[in-house]
Amino acid sequence: MVNDDRGMKTINLALQGGGSHGAFTWGVLDRLLEDERIAFEGVSGTSAGAVNALVLASGLIEGGREGAREALRRFWIAVGEQHGFTPYRRNPLDVLFGRFGFDWSVSYHFFASLTHLVSPYHWNPMGINPLHELFQKHIRFDRIRECRDLKLFISATSVETGRIRVFKNEEMSEQSLIASTALPLLFHAAEVDGQHYWDGGFVGNPALYPLFYECQTTDIVLVQISPLRRATVPKSVFEIQDRMSEVSFNASLASEMRAVHFVTAIAIDRCSCIWWRAKRSSVSSARRQSY
């Protein structure tokens, strides 16, 4: 972790996607921004993590740390206010018994079934995206493209090749953020530079390698909102579907973490060999001198 003369500790942030669970990441970022001993060099995010990254950057550019906290607060309050216009609602029994899931929500399961039977190109032929207005109102893409104090990386999945594309500061636009958040059963694929993209969670949730290659800071704080492990085996249809999504959207992260572990182990092993050879050489030299 890089320290400066003021005692500041500089870190990188890796923000995972997960829809409205991104509100959890808001809480983490708010606490980090509150601690003035912590500074950020780079932020990599996917889907909701990408949204948090760009709202964070907009706030930092416009008003420093407090500006970033306020920008994140305003954004997530606005997201919550949009809930009143969605078909996803708890039924009266859920409200009565304090249940916050959608296991017994008729409207939720009707819409979920619809998305598995009808393409968004058919039930939403105009490609209307409710995130469009939120992004325009809360994110300063023009200022982010000019920003050099914070390195940003957001991931999307190429529909044609299945490979990851990482957008950097100078490439940031509303369309690139739409690309990172475009769940294929809900939204049209987002077109950027003649290529089409889906949600980045399929191939990088989030991508860590840009932080290794583009940043000097070696420490990464990963904000993970989809658990890798579960203590119990899912039994209901809803639990199975949730677990399938968790495993799918964690696969790329788990793969990248294994690669990091492998390379680190090789580096440690190589350093150990060099140390052992140097020690043997010094011992042999001492023995020759004693004779």
Q: What is the dihedral of CA 59, 65, 70, 71, to 10 degrees?
A: 20
What confidence score (pLDDT) does residue 108 get? 72
What pLDDT is attached to residue 57?
A: 97
The b-or-e profile of 10-41 (16+ CB within 10 A means b, else e) is: bbbbbbbbbeeebbbbbeebbebbeeeebbbb
pLDDT the model gives residue 201: 93
Structure tokens at 233: 């085996």
At position 65, the amino acid (one-letter code) is R
| pTM listed for this prediction | 0.84
Structure tokens belonging to residue 41: 């060099």
Q: Residue 2: helix, strand or coil by DSSP? A: strand
- Alpha carbon of residue 229 to chain centroid: 18
E-assigned strands of the chain? 2-3, 9-15, 38-46, 151-158, 164-168, 190-192, 195-199, 220-223
Alpha-carbon distance of 195 to 90, in angstroms, equals 38
DSSP class per residue in 15-32: E---GGGHHHHHHHHHHH
- Residues in the chain, how many? 291
- 226: three-class secondary structure by DSSP: coil
- What's the confidence (pLDDT) of residue 86? 65
The number of beta carbons lying within 10 Å of the beta carbon of residue 203 is: 21
The alpha carbon of 203 is separated from its chain's Cα centroid by a whole number of angstroms, namely 12
Interacting residues of 260 by C-beta distance below 8 A, sequence separation 6+: 208
Digit-by-digit pLDDT tens for the chain (291 residues) are 455 556 789 999 999 998 888 999 999 999 999 999 999 999 999 999 999 999 999 999 999 999 999 999 999 999 988 766 566 666 677 777 776 666 667 677 777 777 888 999 998 999 999 899 999 999 999 999 999 999 999 999 999 999 999 999 999 999 999 999 999 999 999 999 999 999 999 999 999 999 999 999 989 999 998 888 888 999 887 788 888 888 888 888 888 888 877 777 777 776 666 555 555 555 445 444 554
Where does residue 146 rank: exposed (0-12), middle (13-18), buried (19+ CB within 10 A)? exposed
Residue whose C-alpha is closest to residue 134's, from 84, 69, 189, 81: 81
The answer to whether 138 and 71 are in contact (CB under 8 A) is yes
Q: What is the DSSP string of 64-108?
A: HHHHHHHHHHHHHHHHHHHGGGSS----HHHHHHT--S-TT-HHH
